[in-house]
Amino acid sequence: MTELEKMRNGDYYFMEDAEIVAIHKRASTICQQFNALPVTEDEKRDQLLRQLFGSAGKNLSIKPGFNCDLGCNIHVGDDFLTNYNVTILDMAPVTIGNNTWLGPNVGLYAVAHPMDAAGRKERLGIAKPITIGNNVWIGGSAVVLMGVTIGDNVVIGAGSVVTHDIPANSVAVGNPARVIRMIDNA
């Protein structure tokens, strides 16, 4: 099994594998080009994002300072909005629904490393998908870790660290994030 196949399978993989590094360099280059463009260059910015992402709906609105690992594992719906300095580490698929907003400095991290030092010395990574529903608002400087699913109509409070699934129609805050109330979306 190749390192890329291991990564896609959710197994530990060698981070510095040539095939993975090549995909990452492509994504880094596109991110640099995107972030260097003036915000008035809407068409060029949109074209670059559509080259980068695995799939994207209509009405992308992404502020400068956007960075990702591979890009091809990012799938966003319609009316996706980010504020400044959003990072999506998409070594596994990151799937985001319609009308979802990410505040400034939000991090979606679909990758981690071994807890033991020996595994980190071997330059290993492990990736698990992140899934975010429709009509979600993730407040500034929040972090969502690998393997997490966030339901529809959720609000994640600023500065929260989401380590486990969050049910639909809820507000979650804290480190680790916990549901503090439900939202009546009727």
Q: How far apart are CA 126 and CA 40, in angstroms?
A: 38
Distance, in Å, from the CA atom of 42 to the CA atom of 64, rounded to the nearest integer, reads 12
What are residue 179's DSSP bridge partners? Answer: 172
Task: With CA atoms as reference, report the closest residue to 97 among 68, 44, 56.
Answer: 56
In terms of Cα–Cα distance, which of 104, 91, 108, 109 is closest to 62?
104
SS3 state of residue 116: coil
Catalytic residues: 113
Alpha helices in the chain (DSSP H): 3-9, 18-36, 42-52, 117-121
Q: Are 58 and 78 in contact (CB under 8 A)?
A: yes
